[in-house]
Amino acid sequence: MIAFLLALALTQEPVKNDARCMECHKEAAAAWKTSVHAKHDTGCISCHKTDVVDDAGKHAYKPSFIAGTKNLSQNVCGQCHEKETAEFKKGPHWDEDINPKAKWSAKKRQGCLSCHEPHGTALAQRKAIYDQRCTHCHKENSSQRKLITSYMAAADPFDAELEAVKKLLEHPLPGVPYEKAEMARESAEDVHRTLRMLQHNCEFKELEKKIEPAMTPLKAASAELKGQYDAAGGSRRKYFLGFLGLMVVNLVLLRA
């Protein structure tokens, strides 16, 4: 036994980059390359904290390695997503994950991987998670589904309005005041971040209450900006047509 452990230790090779992990975990690597984490250069070592690799595949038992199974995924994700994990602990699904006496069976315990893909992690979309995850457990016409759909009916238009204002602010026009719109955008982005974080505790009724106070000034800012853009565009068209008219007159006079 001692000889085996010694031989195993001698075969361990320090991990210098994620490429070493991807030599074996090809499927996970392919999924990761499409993920939001890959765009931010957050890879295998960043999440699993392994510093050794052994060909026998026993690195899961090394003290430095952080496993990412469904029931342990919070240990991996929580390293960066601390606030989301803290909110998840407050929600109904956390107890199902850590309490063996909960009404759910072990196969239905909830963790980060219940809603998010482990390696091909995309930017979370409410509708996709609802359609692909929530509806698998929560029955149609259940109180949980009604709360979620009511929340999405308020949150999705709010996000769309925020994106519209952000796009308008990306192309400022001279002489157009943007202070009020910027304040509305900043306030709405704070609410947007709060919603994405607090969604993990599933208190959808409380979350819905946070939307309207931010939505009202955001809509007003959007309408005002669009009006100013339309007015500026109309003025530009007038100047252009006037300039074009002068050019035509000059051409006529020159020919005469």
9-68 pLDDT, tens digit per residue, is: 445 555 567 888 888 889 999 999 999 999 988 988 888 877 665 555 556 556 677 877
Same structural domain for residues 119 and 145?
A: no
Alpha carbon 150 to chain centroid distance?
Answer: 20
β-pairing verdict for 52-53 and 13-14: antiparallel
Give the confidence band of 101 by pLDDT, cuts at 50, 70, 90: low
What's the sign of the alpha-carbon dihedral 7, 9, 13, 17? positive
- Among 98, 123, 148, give the residue marking a domain's end: 123
Q: How many domains does the chain have?
A: 2
- Residue-averaged pLDDT of the chain: 77
Q: Is 134 a domain residue?
A: no
Same structural domain for residues 28 and 95?
A: yes
Segment 135-139 mean pLDDT: 84
Same structural domain for residues 45 and 110?
A: yes
- Among 63, 97, 123, give the residue marking a domain's end: 123
Asked if 35 and 119 touch (Cβ cutoff 8 Å), the reply is: yes
Q: Is 103 a domain residue?
A: yes
Residue 233 has pLDDT above 80, yes or no: no
Same structural domain for residues 104 and 41?
A: yes
Report the distance separating Cα 106 and Cα 98, nearest Å.
Answer: 10
Residue 244 has pLDDT above 90, yes or no: no
Same structural domain for residues 14 and 111?
A: yes
> In sequence order, what are the residues at sequence separation of 6 or more whose Cβ sits closer than 8 angstroms to the Cβ of residue 205?
147, 150, 151
Same structural domain for residues 76 and 189?
A: no
Question: Which is nearest to 182 in space by CA: 228, 213, 222, 154?
Answer: 222
Q: Is 96 a domain residue?
A: yes
Q: Is 128 a domain residue?
A: no
Report the distance separating Cα 51 and Cα 12, nearest Å.
Answer: 10
Give the confidence band of 6 by pLDDT, cuts at 50, 70, 90: very low
Same structural domain for residues 97 and 214?
A: no
**Boundaries of domain holding 100:** 1-123
Same structural domain for residues 144 and 114?
A: no
Q: Is 169 a domain residue?
A: yes
- Among 123, 149, 176, give the residue marking a domain's end: 123
The pLDDT value recorded for residue 190 is 92
Same structural domain for residues 196 and 233?
A: yes
> In sequence order, what are the residues at sequence separation of 6 or more whose Cβ sits closer than 8 angstroms to the Cβ of residue 211?
154, 155, 158, 191, 195
Same structural domain for residues 95 and 66?
A: yes
What's the sign of the alpha-carbon dihedral 141, 143, 144, 148? positive
Same structural domain for residues 48 and 149?
A: no
Q: Is 42 a domain residue?
A: yes
Q: Is 19 a domain residue?
A: yes
**Stretch among 18-27, 113-122, 244-253 having the lowest mean pLDDT:** 244-253
Same structural domain for residues 55 and 157?
A: no
Q: Is 129 a domain residue?
A: no
Residue with token string 């991996």: 76
